[in-house]
């Protein structure tokens, strides 16, 4: 009970600090400090945990590597946006999207949906400059743009095998990937429908003159989209095919962008100056520290033991435990790795795997991630779109509840 209370108090402190207009990076770091104090995680214990992490995990999964690589990636995303703006590519994005898709709503959702196929931490920032540019031209309110970019990017997570949680569940349950994808498709479908209903059908201003269908040819629109998207596709291809870190890939993409468009070297310093954003660095530091405190302080194990002690109803445990862990940590795969072993008695009975019940568990994971202020993608969206974090969460909440409803339906109706 104490560990659960410490987590809730720390998250409440984060929300209060944001309401007091404290910048999100500083608020996140203060919340992490508070959690460390409440869980009594000493510097020595944290050092020992980091040393064990360094010894037992692959280098690219260690916290120091994640901090450095994500910081570089997110700062360089700002540089990409600035470079495209100075080159003039940003101004061509909206007409091209309108000319190809005809629907402004489809155009807004398609960008993060396509980029969501790349499962890299912080990858939400790859689509953010495009969504912000397109949405600003349409006059869409920034918190809605942040919610669209955030929510639609994550709709692949229940079914896309490049997200580690899917193969992890397949391995843990010893079943075929097709069966998991078939059941989880209910979550992805519900999420898409909820996103369309609550994020796209309302809040989009009427079409203005500059939003009329472009008269250029389809080939011209495709060319403009290729010029805008190729740095992101290049980065994604290097990551998926050659395992090149996205931070490295996007750096070379920026160099290629500047050279291809013959941007004078004397202008490069001004473009790279867009990477100076101290609050993003502080935000990453605070979010990763918060997660480390939970792991080093044994908070998740304590919460699990508490649920067992109070004899909570089985299906409520199946949903609530993954929800609380994902809400508290903001990460998917560790949530599955931590909680599923405790849920096995509910998911597997008499030699049968109850995939409807498992789908309810993953709905808890998805719902927690969708509304967690610790979720890095959500926090970064608030920072990049300069929108209140709570307002973004409230915009996402109705659509995320559709995922919960789908999970409940699968647990009750599916075998």
pLDDT higher than threshold 70 for residue 207 = no
d(CA 6, CA 354): 33
- Least trusted range by pLDDT, from 41-50, 107-116, 289-298, 332-341: 332-341
pLDDT higher than threshold 80 for residue 98 = no
Mean pLDDT across 397-411: 96
Mean pLDDT across 154-167: 80
The per-residue pLDDT for range 358-375, each reduced to its tens digit, is 999 999 999 999 999 878
Amino acid 215: pLDDT: 58
CA-wise closest residue to 247 among 381, 80, 111, 117: 80
**Torsion from C-alpha of 220, 116, 160, 221, nearest 10 degrees:** -10
Q: Annotate 136-162 with b (16+ C-beta within 10 A) or e (fewer).
A: ebbebbbbbbbbbbbbbbbbbbbbbee
Mean pLDDT across 171-194: 90
| 120 vs 182, more confident | 182
The per-residue pLDDT for range 221-245, each reduced to its tens digit, is 788 778 877 887 787 778 767 777 7
Amino acid 296: pLDDT: 85
Q: Which two tokens stand for residue 307?
A: 């649920």
| 121 vs 340, more confident | 340
Mean pLDDT across 245-257: 85
* CB 229 within 8 Å of CB 207: no
| 287 vs 112, more confident | 112
- Residue 119 — pLDDT band, cuts 50, 70, 90? low
SS3 per residue for the chain: CHHHHHHHHHHHHHHHHHHCCCCHHHHHHHHHHHHHHHCCCCHHHHHHHHHHHHHHCCHHHCHHHHHHHHHHHHHHHHHHHHHHHHHCCHHHHHHHHHHHHCCHHHHHHHHHHHHCCCCCCCCHHHHHHHHHHHHHHHCCCHHHHHHHHHHHHHHHCCCCCCCCHHHHHHHHHCCCHHHHHHHHHHHHHHHHHHHHHHHHCCCCCCCCHHHCCCCCCHHHHHHHHHHHHHHHHHHHHHHHHHCCCHHHHHHHHHHHHHHHCCCCHHHHHHHHHHHCCHHHHHHHHHHHHHHHHHHHCCHHHHHHHHHHHCCCCHHHHHHHHHHHHHHHHCCCHHHHHHHHHHHHHHHEECCEECHHHHHHHHHHHHHHHHHCCCCHHHHHHHHHCCCCHHHHHHHHHHHHHHHHHHHHHHHHHCC
Amino acid 68: pLDDT: 83
Amino acid 90: pLDDT: 65
- Residue 410 — pLDDT band, cuts 50, 70, 90? very high
pLDDT higher than threshold 70 for residue 37 = yes
Helices 333-347 and 314-329: crossing angle in degrees, nearest 10, is 170
Q: Whole-structure pTM over 0.75, yes or no?
A: no
pLDDT higher than threshold 80 for residue 284 = no
N-to-C CA span, the chain: 34
- Residue 403 — pLDDT band, cuts 50, 70, 90? very high
The per-residue pLDDT for range 132-141, each reduced to its tens digit, is 888 888 889 9
pLDDT higher than threshold 70 for residue 303 = yes
Q: Which two tokens stand for residue 50?
A: 């980091």
The per-residue pLDDT for range 271-283, each reduced to its tens digit, is 888 667 777 788 7
* CB 28 within 8 Å of CB 282: yes
Amino acid 393: pLDDT: 95
| 112 vs 18, more confident | 112
CB atoms within 10 A of CB 93: 23
Amino acid 225: pLDDT: 76
CA atoms within 13 A on the CB side of 350: 1
Give the length of the chain: 415
If you compute the radius of gyration of the chain from its CA atoms, what whole number of angstroms results? 22
Q: Which two tokens stand for residue 296?
A: 């080093």
pLDDT higher than threshold 80 for residue 181 = yes
Mean pLDDT across 321-340: 78
Amino acid 164: pLDDT: 67
pLDDT higher than threshold 90 for residue 63 = no
d(CA 189, CA 160): 13
Contacts with 208 (C-beta within 8 Å, 6 or more apart), sequence order? 139
* CB 110 within 8 Å of CB 94: no
Amino acid 205: pLDDT: 82
Amino acid 355: pLDDT: 92
Amino acid 308: pLDDT: 72
User: What residues does each domain of the chain span?
Assistant: 2-413
* Percentage of residues of the chain with pLDDT beyond 70: 89
Distance between alpha carbon 41 and the CA centroid of its chain, in Å?
A: 27
What mean pLDDT value characterizes the chain?
Answer: 82
């Amino acid at each position: 009970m104490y560990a659960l209370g410490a987590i809730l108090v720390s998250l409440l402190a984060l929300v209060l600090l944001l309401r007091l207009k404290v910048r999100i990076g500083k608020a996140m770091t203060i919340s992490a400090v508070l959690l460390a104090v409440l869980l009594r995680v000493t510097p020595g214990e944290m050092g020992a945990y980091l040393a064990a992490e360094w010894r037992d995990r692959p280098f690219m999964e260690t916290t120091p590597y994640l901090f450095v690589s994500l910081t570089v990636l997110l700062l360089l995303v700002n540089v990409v946006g600035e470079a495209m703006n100075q080159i003039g590519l940003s101004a061509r994005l909206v007409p091209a999207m309108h000319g190809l898709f005809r629907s402004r709503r489809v155009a807004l959702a398609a960008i993060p949906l396509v980029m969501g196929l790349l499962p890299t931490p912080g990858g939400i920032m790859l689509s953010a400059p495009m969504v912000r540019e397109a949405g600003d031209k349409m006059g869409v309110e920034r918190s809605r743009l942040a919610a669209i970019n955030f929510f639609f990017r994550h709709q692949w997570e229940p079914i896309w095998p490049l997200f580690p949680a899917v193969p992890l569940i397949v391995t843990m349950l010893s079943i075929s990937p097709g069966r998991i994808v078939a059941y989880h498709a209910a979550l992805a479908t519900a999420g898409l429908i909820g996103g369309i209903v609550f994020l796209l059908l309302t809040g989009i201003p009427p079409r203005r003159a500059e939003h009329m269908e472009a008269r250029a040819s389809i080939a011209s629109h495709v060319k403009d989209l290729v010029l805008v998207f190729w740095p992101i596709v290049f980065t994604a291809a290097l990551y998926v095919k050659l395992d090149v870190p996205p931070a490295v890939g996007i750096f070379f993409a920026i160099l290629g962008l500047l050279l291809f468009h013959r941007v004078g070297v004397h202008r490069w310093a001004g473009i790279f100056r867009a990477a100076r954003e101290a609050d993003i660095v502080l935000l990453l530091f605070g979010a990763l520290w918060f997660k480390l405190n939970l792991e080093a302080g044994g908070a998740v194990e304590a919460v699990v033991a508490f649920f067992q002690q109070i004899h909570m109803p089985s299906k409520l445990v199946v949903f609530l435990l993954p929800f609380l862990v994902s809400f508290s940590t903001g990460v998917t795969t560790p949530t599955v790795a931590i909680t599923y072993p405790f849920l096995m008695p509910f998911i597997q009975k008499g030699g049968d795997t109850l995939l409807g019940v498992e789908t309810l568990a993953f709905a808890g994971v998805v719902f927690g991630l969708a509304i967690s202020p610790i979720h890095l993608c959500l926090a970064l969206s608030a920072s990049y779109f300069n929108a209140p974090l709570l307002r973004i969460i409230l915009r996402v909440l109705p659509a995320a509840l559709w995922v919960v409803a789908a999970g409940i339906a699968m647990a009750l109706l599916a075998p």
